Structure 1
Amino acid sequence: MSLELLANELLLDLFDYLNAHNLLRAFHGLNTRFDQLLFIQLQKYYLDFRFISKNDFEYFCQQYLISINDRVISLHLSDDIETPNLPQFFLSSGYHINQFIHLKSLSIDYISSFDLLNQIILQCHELSYLTHLNIMIHNSQDPEENFRDFINNIWSLSKLTHCYLDIQYPYATWLLEMSIISQSVKYLSTKNISYSSYSLLHLFKHTPYLQRLYIGSIGQCYDQHIQTIIPSLISLSMTAQFTLQWMKNLFQQIPNLCYLTLEINNIYLDGQEWEKILSNYFHNIKIFRLKMTIEFSPLENIEEQVDQLIDSFRSYYWIEKHHWFVRCDWCPMDINQTGLLYTLPYAFDTFYYIDGSQSKSTNPNNFNYSFRNQSKILHYTTNHKRDYSKNKILYPIQFFNIRHLKIKLPFNDAFLSLIPKLDQLISLDVTLNNRDLGYSQLQTLLDRASHLYSLRFCHLNNFSMTSFNITSTSIRRLEFFQHFDVRLRYFNSKECTILANASLAFQCEVLMIDVESRTNILELINIMPSLRALSVRCKDNESNQNETFETNDNLIEWLHQHLPSKYTYSINRNVYNIARINVWIYKAS
């Protein structure tokens, strides 16, 4: 069926699933009917700039943005290596957030300046429909008052109901200095903000209408009694280091809780003890999700301890009343003799798997579907000492919806039975321990990952580019990195040439790499035809490592002088790693 045969209502519904710049690039100018749908009838635009090229960004802003800005309801900006410095560039180009008068959702990723964020948030105060705010920031330099102003400016947004904050900042506990009471925030998620007992109490007092709260981390929780009751809170999720008494004090203040998710590693409670706590404090509990680290006694048989623990979760309360099942995993070769107990289905994004692990559950079925939809990130560790010749796999689970996989190669063949398909995988993080066997197994994974976008290599000192002949039709982002910044391994000219002429390089749009010479940067940009963003650390610039890097330092000036004149560039220091330079490339067609 031809697309043009669809009714206007169906086409408008279809357009709701497309990003604004892709939508207009694909359909504008085809005919009068599509133009009327786009510029007259379509009332909602979703604008996501996270993966846009510099070419497309400038063209879109010049040709379309002023025509649709009063109909943009969702805006997403990012300062990632794919779009370096985009939020500041966007604002300096004459655009302001308050121009999007019907904006409902604003997201900003990888931004580094509270000053810039405060400018944006202050503009948001003029928006009458803004209900959702999502901010990711990494900042280690701004003074504390900038963070305090940032938090108070957010809590002053009168219509804001959903707030998601992922903040890496050493003084993030300045939530204590929050002075504004929000009358609107009902859903709050905070990540990388460390709470104490007092700061959590302070948050409750200044967000009295909270209904759902996600706390990424709680520490310094002494047995201080929390006296602020939050009757509106119905959902709580937290990763925490707390005492049992503190946890009970907290539970007393949230009597109407219906949904509780806990990830803990310093409290050991069996099924009977959890049943007592949940029964005493939460009469309306509907869903309980738990992930708990267990330290087994080295003096007793581990499997017998697992049986005893699992049996404590087989009571009427767990099985018949709530239909809550648990599983306990342990690895017999673990010298620390620890295990992991969690409720089913698995409710956490990240799962760590060590081959050779064993498992027991209160559910009578195999329960493979427990991981079908929940686990999105899988960290896999190989135990090369284990013999799989007799028993290929002892773990009764499979992962069907993995989107991010972190793995060390080579892996045991039994691992492939854990991942029957990888059609949802978008990023792969690989460490090569044995380059000869590792490349072959990596290609096996790539052949199964039809939608893989990003491939990250953690390369060791013996990493060899001579075997870099892997292929994939979907990969657009390549990263070569090391976990430690000591004895860095830089790609030499020969290795850069091998990379630039590899099949993946011709389709690679985003590259992160460390090179020996600044001339290697020119080579990569000249040879790789699709490259639109480059994040690079250059060894011959390391003489400046003990000095303060300036925006227009020697290397940046040199690049401006020597980069091909047929392209234009935005070049700046990476705020997360000042030794790294980000280059955003405009290749005119």
Structure 2
Amino acid sequence: MNLESFSNELLLDLFEYLPVVYLLRAFNDLNFRFNNLILIHFQRFDLNFRSISQYDFKIICRQYLPAIADCISFLTLSNDDDTPQQIDLFLEHGLIISQFINLKSLSLCDLCSDEIMIKMMLEWKYLVNLTHLTLAGCYLKFDQINAQRLIDSIWNLSKLIYCYLNISFNENNILVPTVMSSSLKYVFIWGIEHCQNEINALFKQTPCLQYFSILLNIDSNDNNDVEYPFLSITKLKFYLSRIQEDRIIKFLQNMPNLYQLIIDICSLDQDYTNAILNGCQWKKIIRNNLPNLHIFRFRMEFQLTNENNREQQIDELINSFQSSFWIKEHNWFIQCHWHSINSSSSIYLYTLPYSFDDFNFNYSMKFKSTYPNNNNNNYMHYNHVHSLKYDMSSIEEVFSSSIQFFNLQTLFVKFPVNDHFWSLIPKFNQLISLIISINDDNNIQSQLQFLLDHTPCLYSLSFSSCSSTFLPQILSFEFRNKSIRRLDLRGYDQYFTDEQCLILSHSSLGIQCEILFIKIQNYQILLDILNNMINLRTLIIQCENDKFNETNNDELIVWLKDHLPSTCVISRDLIFYCDIRIWIR
């Protein structure tokens, strides 16, 4: 049987599993039918370049994109550490965003160049079909004028429905539009805390807004409340660094049609006596202001202003969520956990099921909940957690808990671990990223080896803290897992010597590595690293003998460009100046 005999539907299903460069190399220009299927595929799926080799990206930009640009619907470009200077390279090939005339979704990640962002602003106004725009992890030095132009250019996009903005400015400029969007329904703004007067302005300029998510600054000195009912908003998510009941009421009372409310609160300043709202206060807020609320999720981190009778105060707080309003009317349950020994540590209160992506398991924790004890499915309450930080000494007491995490993708763990760790996380089959900190490197090799042997999908391995005595043990590990492609060794407490660099470059882990973060004593060893690590495509280095000064010529960059292959894309990180980023192949 040959591919020509497959139905179009089956071929399109097959295309979903192929990296874009393989798809184009294998099927482009075979015949009219395959060319048409490729175009249909790119109208349905994201052309995502967030993890691609420089060589493949250049081929696509040079040979394929100019011909198919007007058929692409979803495009993602990124200047992150995996693909540094990718957006610059895209532009160097003569490509411009306005060529993608049928683009519906555009994502630009880690763009830190003011000049390129201005180019993008001027180009995306021609994307008449654009409905989704994402600007993620962008650090800019815009002044107030250019910051205003940026936000207004977005609100001027006539068909834009969804907008995600995570932008930081040099002068802490606030993203508040001065023009009205008649199309935007979903807006997510992170990176800068907004006051209520700024929220007012944004609401006025976004009259069709339905789902809104933002970092909110509720300041008692800010008297600019939401000024009129905003009936279109049905879903709201916001993060608060402090909480005050009267300000919360004034903010929510003009959103009577809220169906879903998600709040993340970190209130750790003991100067605020009203650090947390109890169940009676929340009941009053919801009863009086949110008659249509069906989904209510919150997470609150706080400290008690008076540590006397700590558990009694916690019991009183939990009991305030035991009324029929919570249990019978809405079937809303809460849980509280805290450090049983350290009385000055944070207390966490949250709704069940736990609805946030991350969870910190920090010490000997005690749990109390309003959830019925006769239910034996506590593990289901944490199915949404994909990122876990586990920080517990092997000698600490662990209170009995049925909490388990089955869907982890990212894990931060301090070694050594105790037996509780293995019961908390019964399986690691979905784990993609592992960050390791080592407090005591005695007798932990077997623990770490066992963990690595049970992570079949592990892609990224990082060491946030690692002593010099443990480095040889790491390199001597038997890495049976061939999926590890990203290695971050910046947690090693010294710069790697030439000898250590050579050992790494000849190790099985070094040879399979594609993306490497490392601190080195001598940058001349890079030539050997590149020759030995044949699969390495991106290298991020910090160099001990780097003499960088913003007022002088960048001698290290000059040396690298003179001695490394001309195909390497070499740049100094615009935010973290000590990092040199090299996109090798």
Q: What is the TM-score normalised by the length of structure 2?
A: 0.91
Q: Distance in 2 between matches of 1:466 and 1:16?
A: 41
Q: How far apart are 1:476 and its partner, in Å?
A: 0.5
Q: Helix, strand or coil: the match of 1:159?
A: coil
Q: Distance in 2 between matches of 1:409 and 1:2?
A: 53
Q: How far apart are 1:531 and its partner, in Å?
A: 0.4
Q: How far apart are 1:43 and its partner, in Å?
A: 4.5
1:554 aligns with: 555
Q: Distance in 2 between matches of 1:309 and 1:500?
A: 56
Task: Give the letter for the 1:434 counterpart.
Answer: D
Q: Helix, strand or coil: the match of 1:61?
A: helix
1:396 aligns with: 402
Q: How far apart are 1:226 and its partner, in Å?
A: 2.6
Give the direction of change, closer, same or farther, for the CA distance of 1:6–1:583 in structure 2 (3 Å limit). same
Q: Distance in 2 between matches of 1:499 and 1:142?
A: 41
1:405 matched to 2:411? The reply is: yes
For the 8 Å contact 1:173–1:195, the answer to whether it is kept is: no
Q: How far apart are 1:383 and its partner, in Å?
A: 3.0
1:215 aligns with: 214
Q: Helix, strand or coil: the match of 2:413?
A: strand
Q: Distance in 2 between matches of 1:27 and 1:343?
A: 50
1:380 matched to 2:379? The reply is: no
2:457 aligns with: 451
Q: How far apart are 1:33 and its partner, in Å?
A: 6.1
2:270 aligns with: none
Q: Helix, strand or coil: the match of 2:567?
A: strand
Q: Give deviations 1:8-62, integer Å, cap 9, x for gaps.
A: 2232244356553343245557888645533578754521111110111111222
Alignment of structure 1 residues 532-551 onto 2, 5 Å:
532-541=537-546, 543-544=547-548, 546-548=549-551, 550=553
Q: Helix, strand or coil: the match of 1:531?
A: coil
Q: Distance in 1 between matches of 2:43 and 2:238?
A: 38
2:271 aligns with: none
1:316 aligns with: 324
For the 8 Å contact 2:39–2:72, the answer to whether it is kept is: no
1:174 aligns with: 174
For the 8 Å contact 1:453–1:476, the answer to whether it is kept is: yes
The more displaced of 279-288 and 219-228 is 219-228
Gaps of 5+ in 1: none
Q: Distance in 2 between matches of 1:59 and 1:220?
A: 52
2:290 to 282, 307, 331: 282
Q: Distance in 1 between matches of 2:3 and 2:444?
A: 45
Q: Distance in 2 between matches of 1:289 and 1:100?
A: 40
Alignment of structure 1 residues 61-140 onto 2, 5 Å:
61-139=61-139
Q: Distance in 1 between matches of 2:543 and 2:309?
A: 54
Q: Distance in 2 between matches of 1:323 and 1:387?
A: 33
Q: Distance in 2 between matches of 1:298 and 1:244?
A: 20
Give the direction of change, closer, same or farther, for the CA distance of 1:2–1:274 in structure 2 (3 Å limit). farther
Q: How far apart are 1:325 and its partner, in Å?
A: 0.9
Q: Distance in 1 between matches of 2:393 and 2:149?
A: 49
Q: Give deviations 1:321-351, integer Å, cap 9, x for gaps.
A: 1111111111211231542110011111111
For the 8 Å contact 1:104–1:129, the answer to whether it is kept is: yes
For the 8 Å contact 2:141–2:171, the answer to whether it is kept is: no
Alignment of structure 1 residues 149-164 onto 2, 5 Å:
149-164=149-164
1:513 matched to 2:518? The reply is: yes
Give the direction of change, closer, same or farther, for the CA distance of 1:444–1:169 in structure 2 (3 Å limit). farther
Size of the alignment, in residue pairs?
A: 571
Give the direction of change, closer, same or farther, for the CA distance of 1:371–1:576 in structure 2 (3 Å limit). farther
For the 8 Å contact 1:226–1:253, the answer to whether it is kept is: yes
Q: Give deviations 1:347-369, integer Å, cap 9, x for gaps.
A: 11111112421112111123334
Q: How far apart are 1:3 and its partner, in Å?
A: 7.2
Q: Distance in 2 between matches of 1:171 and 1:502?
A: 46
Q: Helix, strand or coil: the match of 1:411?
A: coil
Give the direction of change, closer, same or farther, for the CA distance of 1:60–1:549 in structure 2 (3 Å limit). farther
Q: How far apart are 1:223 and its partner, in Å?
A: 5.2
Q: How far apart are 1:173 and its partner, in Å?
A: 4.0
Q: Helix, strand or coil: the match of 2:24?
A: helix
Task: Give the letter for the 1:58 counterpart.
Answer: K
Q: How far apart are 1:111 and its partner, in Å?
A: 0.8
1:21 aligns with: 21
Give the direction of change, closer, same or farther, for the CA distance of 1:312–1:335 in structure 2 (3 Å limit). closer
Coordinate RMSD, CA, aligned: 2.5
For the 8 Å contact 1:44–1:71, the answer to whether it is kept is: no
Give the direction of change, closer, same or farther, for the CA distance of 1:3–1:334 in structure 2 (3 Å limit). farther
Give the direction of change, closer, same or farther, for the CA distance of 1:497–1:41 in structure 2 (3 Å limit). closer
Task: Give the letter for the 2:78 counterpart.
Answer: S
2:356 aligns with: 348
For the 8 Å contact 1:329–1:341, the answer to whether it is kept is: yes
1:437 aligns with: 443
Q: How far apart are 1:147 and its partner, in Å?
A: 1.9
Q: How far apart are 1:451 and its partner, in Å?
A: 1.1
Alignment of structure 1 residues 291-370 onto 2, 5 Å:
291-296=299-304, 300-364=308-372, 365-370=375-380
2:500 aligns with: 495
Gaps of 5+ in 2: 268-274
For the 8 Å contact 2:172–2:192, the answer to whether it is kept is: yes
Give the direction of change, closer, same or farther, for the CA distance of 1:59–1:338 in structure 2 (3 Å limit). closer
1:584 matched to 2:573? The reply is: no
Q: Helix, strand or coil: the match of 2:122?
A: helix
Give the direction of change, closer, same or farther, for the CA distance of 1:335–1:303 in structure 2 (3 Å limit). closer
Give the direction of change, closer, same or farther, for the CA distance of 1:161–1:538 in structure 2 (3 Å limit). same
Q: How far apart are 1:436 and its partner, in Å?
A: 3.7
Q: Helix, strand or coil: the match of 1:201?
A: helix
Q: What is the TM-score normalised by the length of structure 1?
A: 0.91
Q: How far apart are 1:568 and its partner, in Å?
A: 1.9
Q: Distance in 2 between matches of 1:404 and 1:434?
A: 22
Q: Distance in 2 between matches of 1:573 and 1:321?
A: 57
For the 8 Å contact 1:114–1:150, the answer to whether it is kept is: no
1:476 matched to 2:505? The reply is: no
Task: Give the letter for the 1:89 counterpart.
Answer: L
